[in-house]
Amino acid sequence: MAKQRNSTRTSVATSATVGYEAQLWQMADTLRGSMDAAEYKHVVLGLIFLKYISDAFEEQHAKLVAEQAAGADPEDPDEYRAKSVFWVPAEARWAHLKARARQATIGQHVDDAMAGIERDNPALKGVLPKDYARPALDKTRLGQLIDLISNIRVGDEASRAKDKLGRIYEYFLSQFASAEGKKGGEFYTPGCVVKLLVEMLEPYRGRVYDPCCGSAGMFVQSVEFIRAHASGNGNLPADRQAVGKARPDISIYGQESNYTTWRLAKMNLAIRGIDGQIAHGDTFHADRHPDLKADFILANPPFNVSDWGGERLTGDQRWQYGTPPRGNANFAWVQHIVHHLAPKGVAGFVLANGSMSSNQSGEGEIRRKLIEAGLVDCMVALPGQLFYSTQIPACLWFLSKSRFPRPAQRGEGGERSEPGEGPRRDRSGEILFIDARKLGRMVDRTHRELTDEDIARIATTYHAWRLPAPCASRQAGSEQSLPSPRMRGEGGERSGWRSEQPLPSPRVRGEGGERSGWRSEQPLPSPRVRGEGGERSEPGEGSYKDIPGFCKSASLDEVRKHGHVLTPGRYVGAEAQEDDGEPFDEKMKRLTAQLREQQAEAAKLDAAIAANLRELGFWSESR
């Protein structure tokens, strides 16, 4: 079991958010006893999900009771479905379970509740856990857990507005992943990695696909992504639900081979009101979306899988750039992703560092063909210790089928399109390399996280590199000018940007100052950036430039000279050292004098130690 975190962290760059998640986790974990974390995960998350839909139901039920005189029927399921609230049958309502929490039959009552909800809500069929009655589950602890969860409200409108359940789910998933160690990586990708992928690809419109979606983290862990696109099932405040349904911007597609993890994904989407086609099955051998051409693909495939059944897929249509080795699935995942990209699609995914340089079993040749085909857009070397599942160093690959020039696109009313649809320059003969290995901060003895500043620095560098020079208004690598997805003020409130002046965002605020998930109908001006001296520059003045030790735009000829190896460290060079202004001769004289002083001090210490040992009889001059 990983050491629990006792401190509350308020930065959105970390996996923990506000205090009640950590407190609830500590109490729930106390009730775990000797149960394995992999098993307990489904017990706890299933109950929290049940409490969520029960809270939303009870709130709507109370409204309908108050409106009975006007003809409302509190027991009509359609009254709830009309408000995108799950119908909860009588035997599944939380009050019913709480009243029986101390009974020996509580496990069977919970199973009956889950079965009843699945029966009356087809979207949840086969998703909820229904094994609470099993003898191995301590019913006393189960009752205590129900009592604990009874004390929190997660599904009422106020809680939905604050995304309470989403934050609890994300925090619990991260803690279970940490507790399970290597197995935890099968269902959870660290939030900072997901945020980095989303910030770089900006998947705000179109078809979004994750071929190995785990617990659906790629779809739900980006706050901007969720706020812009969540709809239905009562997860949005009432005044925004109609808007959300009227303007669906994305379609979500995913697949997961592990059945229990697939159920987590379905629940994780349901609690946020996101409709997605998440299929269960082996992505390589039973592709559930064979005809899909996605605009955005985000993925964290399992690293270096050896038993993926490659021998049964010889000649598969997906292997356009070479047959992947039977003993390693890395380039099977890469080519599966390429196969499912739309003609102008982009992809960002995590792979082991070995994928950037390996020449074993034809991997080098596949990589060469991908590069020569102009698909590789950007490579990012990540810091170590980011993942719960492995200590293997990892990297991010970014592929694009749209590396040629593209003008800015505007909507029907003339408004500026989403960030991912802006102007692009011709990058067909270049690859951007970013070495982020020195970024991030340690959050405990074994795990590191990228901060908001790190994520913004990497993403802004990538965006500036893709833009035509006059449009690259964000200075690559500048830490002062980088907008952040979110941060918290001194009082804990959410703010939109780190800049001293408010920067325009693809999201706008309503008249009352509330954050809106919908796009402004007015063209968005370019944000101002800061120059080297900290002064604000005019829009369009900043542009991408190579930064030794951090980023390098390398030509295809350079990559060829390196044997098509894609390790960023080979290209970005060494970080520039600041000149301290001290002449070399003077510095050497000073350092030499300092060395002599230290040697003299060391000789004195050696003599004192020898004298002490001599007095104790442990030192002889013959030594």
Q: What is the mean pLDDT of the chain?
A: 78
Q: Pick the residue with more confidence: 18 or 188?
A: 188
Asked which of 44-53, 71-80, 96-105, 392-401 is least confident by mean pLDDT, the reply is 44-53
Q: How far is CA 460 from CA 108, 394, 569, 605, in A?
A: 53, 21, 20, 53
pLDDT in tens, 364-381: 999 999 999 999 999 999
Report for 25-34, 244-253, 431-440, 602-611: range of highest mean pLDDT: 431-440
Identify the CA nearest to 397 among candidates 431, 448, 331, 350. 350
258-272, 292-306, 397-411: which has the highest mean pLDDT? 292-306
Q: Binning pLDDT at 50, 70 and 90, where does residue 28 land?
A: confident
Residue 412 has pLDDT above 80, yes or no: no
Instruction: Give the whole-angstrom CA distance, residue 177 versus residue 168.
Output: 14
Does 23 score more than 90 pLDDT?
Answer: no
Coil vs helix vs strand at 221: coil
Question: pLDDT band at 551, cuts 50/70/90?
Answer: very high
* pLDDT value for 514: 39
Smallest Cα–Cα separation from 451: which of 481, 484, 491, 478? 484
138-147, 265-274, 539-548: least confident range: 539-548
- Identify the pLDDT of residue 8: 33
Strands (E), 438-486: 441-442, 448-449
Tokens of 42: 């489904």
Q: Give span(s): CATH 1.20.1260.30, the chain.
A: 19-174
Q: How confident is the model at residue 137 (pLDDT cuts 50, 70, 90)?
A: confident
| Confidence at residue 67, expressed as pLDDT on a 0 to 100 scale | 94
Of the two residues 27 and 523, the one the predictor is more confident about is 27
In this structure, are residues 388 and 380 in contact, taking their beta carbons and an 8 Å threshold? no
Report which DSSP code applies to 616.
T
The residue ranking higher by pLDDT, 284 or 580, is 284
8-17 confidence digits (pLDDT tens): 333 333 433 3
340 has a pLDDT exceeding 60: yes
Q: What is the mean pLDDT of residues 453-479?
A: 76
For the stretch 584-610, pLDDT in tens is: 888 899 999 999 999 999 999 999 999
Q: At residue 539, does pLDDT exceed 60?
A: no
Q: Are 236 and 247 in contact (CB under 8 A)?
A: no
Task: Reply yes or no on whether the pLDDT at 32 is more than 60.
Answer: yes
Average pLDDT of the segment spanning 407-417:
45
Percentage with pLDDT > 70 across the chain: 71
Per-residue confidence band for 264, with pLDDT thresholds at 50, 70 and 90? confident
Distance CA 486, CA 508 (A): 14
More confident residue, 422 or 259: 259
Give the per-residue pLDDT at 211. Answer: 97
Contact indicator for 257, 281 with CB cutoff of 8 Å? yes
- Two tokens, residue 619: 């030192």
Which CATH architecture is the domain 187-572 placed in? 3-Layer(aba) Sandwich (3.40)
d(CA 333, CA 373): 17
Looking at residue 547, the DSSP 8-state letter turns out to be B
Q: How far apart are CA 464 and CA 434, in angstroms?
A: 13
- The residue type at 191: G
Average pLDDT over residues 98-111: 96
Is the pLDDT assigned to residue 544 strictly greater than 60? yes
Architecture of domain 19-174: Up-down Bundle (1.20)
Residue 518 — very low, low, confident or very high, per pLDDT cuts 50/70/90?
A: very low
The DSSP-derived string for 59-103 is HHHHHHHHTGGGT--TT-HHHHHTTT-----GGGSHHHHHTTTTS
pLDDT score recorded for residue 223: 39
Identify the band that residue 2 occupies on the pLDDT scale cut at 50, 70 and 90.
very low
At position 177, the amino acid (one-letter code) is A
* Closest by Cα among 261, 264, 209, 274 to 235: 274
User: Of 391 and 239, which is predicted with more confidence?
Assistant: 391
